[in-house]
Chain A
Amino acid sequence: MPVTVRLPGALREATGGETKLSASGATLREIIADIDRRHPGFASRVLDDAGVLRTYVNVYIGEEDARSHGGASAKVPDGSEVMIIPAMAGG
Chain B
Amino acid sequence: MIDRARIVLPRALREELIAHARESAPQECCGLLLGDGEAVRRVMRCRNVHPAPETRYIIDKAQLFEAFRASADFDRELVAIYHSHPRSPAYPSPTDRAEALWPLAGYVLVSLRADTPEVFAYRVADDAVREIPISEG
A interface vs B, CB < 8 Å? 6, 8-10, 19, 56, 58, 60, 65, 83, 85-91
Q: A17: nearest residue on chain B (CB-CB)?
A: B1
Q: Is the CB of A90 within 8 A of B102?
A: no
Known pairs A58-B61, A87-B99, A90-B92 / 16 extra A-B pairs, C-beta < 8 Å:
A6-B68, A8-B102, A19-B75, A60-B65, A83-B68, A83-B69, A86-B101, A87-B58, A89-B50, A89-B59, A89-B99, A90-B57, A90-B99, A91-B28, A91-B55, A91-B94
B interface bracket (residues with beta carbon within 8 Å of A): 20 to 34
Q: Which residues of B contact A60 (CB under 8 A)?
A: 65, 69
Q: B74: nearest residue on chain A (CB-CB)?
A: A8
User: B13 an interface residue at 8 Å Cβ cutoff?
Assistant: no
From A6, A19, A85, A90, B64 is in contact (CB under 8 Å) with A85
From B1, B56, B74, A90 is in contact (CB under 8 Å) with B56
| Complexed CA–CA distance, A87 and B69 (Å) | 14
Q: Is the CB of B1 within 8 A of A87?
A: no
Q: Is the CB of B57 within 8 A of A91?
A: yes
Q: B107: nearest residue on chain A (CB-CB)?
A: A90
Q: Is the CB of B56 within 8 A of A91?
A: yes
Query: Would you mind naming 28 contact pairs between A and B with Cβ atoms under 8 Å apart?
Result: A8-B74, A8-B75, A8-B104, A9-B75, A9-B104, A10-B101, A10-B105, A56-B99, A56-B101, A60-B69, A83-B65, A83-B68, A83-B69, A86-B102, A87-B58, A88-B30, A88-B64, A88-B81, A88-B101, A89-B58, A89-B101, A90-B83, A90-B95, A90-B96, A90-B100, A90-B107, A91-B28, A91-B99
